[in-house]
Every structure is written in structure tokens, then in C-alpha cells.
Amino acid sequence: MKIDDDTQKALLLFNRRAEAAEAAKAAERRLAKASKAKDEAAKALKRAQDSGGGAEVVAEAETAWRAAVDSWQRLRDGEEIPEDQTAPDD
């Protein structure tokens, strides 16, 4: 099937816009995931501080919280980061 130049250009434009929309949705999902991880890390830090579990437990929770905040900020600012950095493992 032969496609004229105008149709070809329109299809390319449509595909680019569709890819851009999908990329925007993926970025929103990553940001939401990072925001949730940040909030969960903040809650874990608060629990560690309130439980009196010791300085080591609080330090670990604070490190996880700082990493989650860093990932969230980087995604919020539009930086591409690897998927494994958006939600640190506990």
C-alpha cells in the first residue's frame, strides 16, 4: 500500500505525540511511586524515632528517607533516574 507524503507526515506526527503522551504518563506514575515511597519512609523514620529503638535504627530509617526524598526531588525536577532508585528496598 502506497502512502502519500502528507499522510506519512501526519502518521509520524501522531506517533510522536502518542509516544510523548505515554512518556508523560510513565513519568507521572514514577513520580507518584516515588512520592509514596517518600511518605512511607517518613512514617518509618517517625516510628523509629518514637520507638526508642536506638541510634542505629533511626540512622537506617533516616538514610532510607533521605534516599526516597532525593529520588522524589529528582523525578519532580524532570530528571530520568533508574527504576530501582525510585523505591528503595527496606
Q: Are 12 and 65 in contact (CB under 8 A)?
A: no
Q: Is residue 36 part of a domain?
A: yes
Q: How many structural domains is the chain composed of?
A: 1
This prediction has a pTM of: 0.74
**What is the full per-residue pLDDT of the chain (90 aa) written as tens digits?**
788 999 999 999 999 999 999 999 999 999 999 999 999 999 999 999 998 878 999 999 999 999 999 999 999 998 888 776 555 444
Please tell me the total number of residues recorded for the chain in this structure.
90
Place of cell 530509617: 61
Q: Is residue 43 part of a domain?
A: yes
Could you list the residue range(s) of the whole structural domain that residue 60 is in? 5-85
Looking at residue 89, its pLDDT comes to 47
Q: Is residue 29 part of a domain?
A: yes
Q: Is residue 56 part of a domain?
A: yes
Q: Is residue 90 part of a domain?
A: no
- Residues 24 and 26: their CA atoms lie apart, in Å, by 5
Q: Is residue 18 part of a domain?
A: yes
Q: For residues 77, 80, 84 and 90, what is the CA-based torsion angle, rounded to 10 degrees? A: -10
